[in-house]
Amino acid sequence: MNSKTVFITGTSSGIGLETVRYFAGQGWNVAATMRQMELARSVSDLPTVRVFQLDVTDEAQVDSVAAAAIAAFGRIDVVVNNAGYAQYGPLELTSMEQIERQYRTNVFGVMKVMKAFIPHFRLSGGGTFVNISSLSAKIAFPIFGVYSSSKWAVAGLSEAMNIELAPFGIRVRTVYPGTHASQIFSKMDAASEGDASIYAPYVRHFLGSQADMAANHPSVAAKDIFAAATRDGWRFEYMPGRDARLLVWLRRILSNRMWYQMQVNSLLQPPNPRVQRLMSWLMGGTTPVQAVADARLQGEG
């Protein structure tokens, strides 16, 4: 059996699946979790991978699966908290049930998994958590306020835990992926209550402005997740994708007024094709996300 083992949540597709493949390719054992076991075929060709069924919103299941993974491999060295989904739409039109569901998965799920593994890491003399946040935790975007806030919570938790758990040799790293070609988009939960026509043109303008952008392949994030899990030193944050780094740089150099007006304009004005092409080139993505935008816009009135 290999010497290192990683436990990864949300591995049926996208960044989670690519992360499983990347760790396995580096010779690691992988405990891969997913809610739907029929999707386990996606990693059936990887001999060092074992799949566990897990819904991170189920606390009892989190505890039992964590114990089962530890028993199966003897020791877990790294835990990657990747499970999550995106909820979008104006806050006014978003039900409290949707908001609570977003937090149950994206925030409370991360907390539950960390609580399940902290004792194991502490008794083992150390370990590493890699928590997947989002570019939206560095730069909050309109229409994605609930999702952004959940990812800000993950970032805040990670920073605090990296300090709190340091006496036990436990490290916490945070990864902030930019736009990646992932099924998280097709699984997005749209705001479901109120009069959607009030916000329809603003939602259409903003989501349309993303349509011609280029996305990163999920393997880009997987490489940074592996680096976050394995590198020594004082680097606590990783930002996969040139789009993420570019936007954070723009936010830093632009005045608050300029940044605010640019964001408001994305709601008030139809997308400018020339600007879209320029931004897409600058961001350096590889996969068109037009189909993603079409899926987002469906049913927006």
For 253-264, the pLDDT digits (tens) are 999 999 899 899
> Is residue 202 within 8 Å of residue 301, measured between CB atoms?
no
Catalytic residue among 42, 134, 151, 238: 151
Joined together, the tokens standing for residue 147 give 């999702």
Q: Which amino acid is at 299?
A: G
Strand, coil or helix: 168 = helix
12 is catalytic: no
Q: What are phi and psi of 225, to 5 degrees?
A: -65, -40
Strand, coil or helix: 136 = helix
- Assigned CATH topology for domain 5-194+215-241: Rossmann fold (3.40.50)
Helices (H), 141-287: 145-164, 200-209, 218-230, 242-253, 256-268, 273-283
Q: What is the pairing mode between strands 78-81 and 87-88?
A: unpaired
Q: What are phi and psi of 35, to 5 degrees?
A: -75, -35
202 is catalytic: no
Q: Is the pLDDT of residue 297 over 80?
A: no
Catalytic residue among 88, 147, 176, 238: 147
pLDDT in tens, 156-184: 999 999 999 999 999 999 999 987 554 44
**What percent of the chain has a predicted confidence (pLDDT) above 70?**
83
Q: Is the pLDDT of residue 124 over 50?
A: yes
pLDDT in tens, 240-285: 988 888 889 989 999 999 989 989 998 998 877 666 665 665 666 5
For residue 230, the model assigns a pLDDT of: 97
pLDDT band at 301 (very low <50, low <70, confident <90, very high): very low
115 is catalytic: no
